[in-house]
Amino acid sequence: MSEPVLQVRALSVDIRGGGDRTSAVANVSFDVAPGEMVCLVGESGSGKSVTASSVMGLLNTANLRLSEGSIKLCGEELVGASKARLRELRGSRMAMVFQEPMTALNPVHRVGDQIAEVLRTHSRGMTRKQIRARVLELMRDVYLPEPERLQYSYPNQLSGGQRQRIVIAMALALKPALIIADEPTTALDVTTQAQILSLLRGLQTRYKTGVLFITHDLGVVAEIADRAIVMQSGRIVEEGPALEVLTRPKHRYTRMLLDALPVAVARPPRFEPDAPIVLAVKDLTKTYDERSLFRKSRSTKAVDGVSFDLRRGEIVGVVGESGSGKSTLARCIARLITVSDGRVEASGSDVAKLPNRSLSGYRRKLQMVFQDPYRSLNPRMTVAQLIGEGMANIGLSQREANERTRRLLDLIGLDHSVTSRYPHQFSGGQRQRICIARALAMEPEILIADEAVSALDVSVQAQVLDLLEDLRSRLNLAVIFITHDLRVAARICDTVAVMHRGKIVEYGRAVDVFAAPQHEYTKQLFAAAPGTDVLGQMVRH
Amino acid sequence: MLRFLIKRLIATLPVVVGVAIVVFLILRLAPGDPAAVLAGGTATPETVAEIRQKLGLDAPLLTQFFTWAGLVLHGNLGTSIITHQPVWNLILQRAEPTLSLGATTFVVSIVFAVPLGVLAAWYHQTWVDRVVMIISVLGFSIPAFVVGYLLVYLFAIDLKWLPVQGFANISRGIGPFISYITLPTITLSLFYGALIARITRASILEVLGEDYIRTARAKGLRESTVMTRHALRVAAGPIISIVGIGLAMLISGALITESVFNLPGLGRLTVDAVMSRDYPVIQGLILVLSLVYILINVLVDIAYAVVDPRIRY
């Protein structure tokens, strides 16, 4: 084998003034060979991003310190190299692709200029004309449509997938020996993710680039990795050819990750088919008008004639990509926004037409859990206040509220002593449990979970899904579960509604939809889910 | 863009009308009588009444207002009660020193304060940052008249490098102009620049945490390029808005500074007019200054769109 492009030996990164953990990365060693795709897998806090930043020389030195080890790029030692040399290497010999294409590009510069900047910085000899030509060539390489026109666009005029292509073009500009891709597809829709993954794979083979691909998603690993390195709490726990790691995991942490992974095979419904209907949505439509004084107004249908019934104890999954209207639908049903047309029937009345001031009764019956547990809890309120606020609103006494809060904490599996603590003292999974307790405090009939597990690590995701499942059967809750993740939907839903451009394109029992999708779009969506083949095989084993 | 500008300008009309009404009423409701000032201390009540009638100040308020408003609509700000010169001419005569001082302060503040703010953010929490912040706290909190007199004492009286007070038209040559305008400019810039430096530092610090700054560093750009082309460009929005808001304070600051350095500018004109209850002059001045202020705000809006392509009107 030829010399590795990246050689990391005994790398340790300390956390300055670290509390329960003093090192972010401890004694990590691995290689990346030319033309090899190595996946660094782990949950949040496993040290995978810190490892990547160390290689790039971009560690946040305010709280992290590279204490030991050696990092060699094509044989050249990077630890202790001068800032100027590192700067020369960044962008030219090693490049990076980031997670958030929405924020990774500077909003005030044209995308073409942002690619050109790499060339201008690192290759002095190029003329303006040559740079211009190379930018267009790169944009064609990443399959961007109409590069001549697109190069003059600003990032906000492009879609997430297009932006990620720009970032990749930027990384490829000088044909670096090593590309570090830090969760490059996590923020993208599955179909876009599939395109970007195959793009990266293709370019990497063509340019013989070594790629260090960081991800939390074992599906992605199955899809593209040559080799997989599993990290937990700053250490490497397992390493080997990707297929082997996925199909014959040796370490129990790897096995746990694989077990926690929801499998895209649905189970039969677990609710009474003739249970009473608690919510009936009929031809629900939400139109956004763009009013203008001088032009003809335009209107967009975010939700277009959606109908479905929700029975007591049923979990309906609303599945779709970003922009499909699934969140708008949830917000319409919860009446957080006004409904343009159609009916939302709950306990005999049409909620869609109710004025805001008459909604308090409905609000008690329907509660929501949102995506980001880090932002949906007020940081200045204690757990007791967060859970108790709604109860005080509907006139429960302090004693009754405290009583119910304790019962809820039992239900979600948190200790009674946490009531005086603040959200920042909890982990993501715990926070989402608190959000669920807050929602349940009103003793609702219906719970809407809007991407409630999307921001969580798989192992935590599994716990929260189990909790929801458990609550459904114990409290006979009806749940509308909104998600972009098919595997999550398969795991928890009885019924599935697939949304595309504001419409439900497919609706049916989860087992049927997952076993034999009818609509073309659903088929596409399923095909795009990363690692379906490998992981599907695994299940059968 | 053009449509936006037209809309913006139309929207300013009610503001101007409002300003005119408020100014007119406040003057009339405030104590003090221009007729009495004109007639002098020894005049009899009859003389004062006669003067008042001659000036039209005995008419009902509404009549007085519409008379004045009618004149203003024809571009005529009226005539000074005291000097009998047209208000417009008075303003034009006194505009140069104030405009000069405003322009030099504006340029000097931005040229020094923005780079200092960038440096403070770049070397966040080092001595560079602290020195810049100390200077800006001092600049912001020491009143202009204290700074002004200290500067005069040091550079004019003690070192004799610069004249104590007064103003030289730019037509008298660039040398004299600069020697006269330097101290007032420093006095005023200290205050205005302090504001800009602080906001520059704060908004750059905020931008530095963004993902695209990490991208810029990952491209291997020099830190100076990261700070200017990537951070400052994005941070320019808040800076521009504080520059615009600060201009209002600059106008009031110019008033004090002109008094300290005895500049024959609009500030002095305002003070004199207020002292002698010269209603038409005060009204005209405030109306013109508020128009200038509105115009600056429109310019600020345009500047936003220039620096940030996400903003399109």
CB-nearest to B221 from A108, A121, A294 is A121
B208: closest CA of chain A, how far (Å):
12
- Chain A residues in contact with B230 by the CB 8 A cut-off are 106, 109
CA nearest neighbour of A106 among B143, B217, B145:
B217
Lowest mean pLDDT among A12-26, A360-374, A404-418: A12-26
Chain A residue at shortest CA distance from B219: A91
- Cβ–Cβ gap B215/A109 under 8 Å: no
Q: Binning pLDDT at 50, 70 and 90, where does residue A540 land?
A: very low
Q: DSSP for B208-259?
A: HTSHHHHHHHHTT--HHHIIIIIIIHHHHHHHHHHHHHHHHHHHHHHHHHHH
Lowest mean pLDDT among A55-59, A100-104, A116-120: A100-104
Instruction: Give CA–CA dist B34/B81, Å, rounded.
Output: 8
Overall number of domains in chain B? 1
B286 assigned to some structural domain: yes
- The CATH number of whichever domain residue B199 belongs to comes to 1.10.3720.10
Residue B1 contacts A, CB cutoff 8 Å: no
More confident residue, B203 or B298: B203
CB-nearest to B210 from A88, A103, A109 is A103
> Complex ipTM, two decimals?
0.73
- Chain A residues in contact with B234 by the CB 8 A cut-off are 106-108
B174 assigned to some structural domain: yes
Sheet holding A64-73, edge to edge: A23-32, A6-15, A64-73, A76-77
State chain B's mean pLDDT as an integer: 85
CA nearest neighbour of A246 among A531, A500, A511:
A531
| Contact between B292 and B98 (Cβ < 8 Å) | no
Burial annotation A47-79 (CB, 10 A radius, 16+ → b, else e): bbbbbbbbbbbbbeeeebebebbebbbbeeebb
- Chain A residues in contact with B5 by the CB 8 A cut-off are none
Residue A71 has pLDDT above 90, yes or no: yes
| Contact between A224 and A200 (Cβ < 8 Å) | yes
Q: Specify the pLDDT at position A68.
A: 87
Residue range B207-231: mean pLDDT, rounded: 89
Structural domain for B246, as ranges: 97-312
- Cβ–Cβ gap A58/B214 under 8 Å: yes
What are the tokens at A294? 């001088």
Residue B277: its H or E element: none
CA dihedral A46, A48, A54, A59 (to 10 degrees): -60
B200: closest CA of chain A, how far (Å):
17
B55 assigned to some structural domain: no
Residue range A67-89: mean pLDDT, rounded: 90
The per-residue pLDDT for range A223-239, each reduced to its tens digit, is 889 999 999 888 999 99
How many Å from the N-terminal Cα to the C-terminal Cα in chain B? 5
- Cβ–Cβ gap B220/A154 under 8 Å: no
B125: closest CA of chain A, how far (Å):
11
- Chain A residues in contact with B229 by the CB 8 A cut-off are 109
Residue range B43-66: mean pLDDT, rounded: 80
More confident residue, A99 or A5: A5
CB-nearest to A90 from B220, B233, B308 is B220
Q: For an interface test with A, which of B212, B306, B308, B311 has the most A Cβ atoms less than 10 Å from its Cβ?
A: B212
Residue range A140-152: mean pLDDT, rounded: 88
Residue A139 has pLDDT above 70, yes or no: yes
CA nearest neighbour of B132 among B107, B111, B148, B115:
B115
- Chain A residues in contact with B220 by the CB 8 A cut-off are 87-92, 118, 121-122
B78 assigned to some structural domain: no
Q: For an interface test with A, which of B219, B222, B224, B229 has the most A Cβ atoms less than 10 Å from its Cβ?
A: B219
B310: closest CA of chain A, how far (Å):
7
- Chain B residues in contact with A294 by the CB 8 A cut-off are 3
Chain A residue at shortest CA distance from B309: A108
CA nearest neighbour of A131 among B57, A139, A224:
A139
State chain A's mean pLDDT as an integer: 86
What percent of chain B stands above pLDDT 90?
Answer: 13
Q: Binning pLDDT at 50, 70 and 90, where does residue B202 land?
A: very high
Residue A260: its H or E element: helix A252-260
CB-nearest to A121 from B220, B309, B310 is B220
- Cβ–Cβ gap A108/B233 under 8 Å: yes
φ/ψ (deg, to 5) at A477: -75, 145
- Cβ–Cβ gap A98/B222 under 8 Å: no
Q: Specify the pLDDT at position A312.
A: 92
The per-residue pLDDT for range A156-177, each reduced to its tens digit, is 888 888 888 899 999 988 889 9
- Cβ–Cβ gap A91/B219 under 8 Å: yes
CA nearest neighbour of A281 among A446, A438, A71:
A446
How many residue pairs from chains A and B have C-beta atoms closer than 8 A?
A: 75
Residue B293: its H or E element: helix B279-307
Q: Specify the pLDDT at position A146.
A: 86
The per-residue pLDDT for range A237-262, each reduced to its tens digit, is 999 999 899 888 899 888 888 877 76
- Cβ–Cβ gap A108/B221 under 8 Å: no
B142 assigned to some structural domain: yes
Instruction: Give CA–CA dist A220/A194, Å, rounded.
Output: 9
Chain B residue at shortest CA distance from A295: B3
B60 assigned to some structural domain: no
What percent of chain A stands above pLDDT 70?
Answer: 95
Residue B124 contacts A, CB cutoff 8 Å: no
Chain A residue at shortest CA distance from B226: A106
- Cβ–Cβ gap B219/A156 under 8 Å: no
B28: closest CA of chain A, how far (Å):
41
Chain B residue at shortest CA distance from A154: B309
Highest mean pLDDT among A114-118, A426-430, B156-160, B268-272: A114-118
The per-residue pLDDT for range B89-140, each reduced to its tens digit, is 888 888 888 888 888 999 999 999 999 999 999 998 899 999 999 999 998 8
Highest mean pLDDT among A36-40, B4-8, B158-162: A36-40
- Chain A residues in contact with B204 by the CB 8 A cut-off are none
More confident residue, A242 or B34: A242
Q: Binning pLDDT at 50, 70 and 90, where does residue B88 land?
A: confident
CB-nearest to A103 from B212, B233, B310 is B212
Residue range A374-403: mean pLDDT, rounded: 87
A96: helix, strand or coil: strand
- Cβ–Cβ gap A56/B218 under 8 Å: yes
| Contact between A449 and A481 (Cβ < 8 Å) | yes
Residue range B241-254: mean pLDDT, rounded: 82
Residue B305 contacts A, CB cutoff 8 Å: no
φ/ψ (deg, to 5) at A348: 85, -10
Residue range A255-275: mean pLDDT, rounded: 78
Residue B220 contacts A, CB cutoff 8 Å: yes
- Cβ–Cβ gap A96/B218 under 8 Å: yes
B105: closest CA of chain A, how far (Å):
29
A76-77/A94-97 β-pairing? unpaired
What percent of chain A stands above pLDDT 90?
Answer: 29
| Three-class HEC string of A462-491 | HHHHHHHHHHHHHHCCEEEEEECCHHHHHH
Q: Specify the pLDDT at position B313.
A: 66
Query: Residues of A near B (CB-CB distance < 8 A)?
Result: 56, 58, 87-92, 95-96, 98, 100, 103-110, 117-118, 121-122, 154, 156, 167, 170, 294
- Chain A residues in contact with B217 by the CB 8 A cut-off are 58, 90
Q: Specify the pLDDT at position A291.
A: 59
B68 assigned to some structural domain: no
B76 assigned to some structural domain: no
Lowest mean pLDDT among A13-22, A272-281, B63-72: A13-22
Q: Binning pLDDT at 50, 70 and 90, where does residue A425 land?
A: confident
Provide, for chain A, the percentages of residues in helix, strand and coil under a 3-state DSSP scheme, each rounded to the nearest 5: 40, 25, 35
Residue A293 has pLDDT above 70, yes or no: no
Residue A496 has pLDDT above 60, yes or no: yes
Residue range A33-59: mean pLDDT, rounded: 88
- Cβ–Cβ gap A107/B218 under 8 Å: no
Q: Specify the pLDDT at position A503.
A: 92
pTM check: above 0.80: no
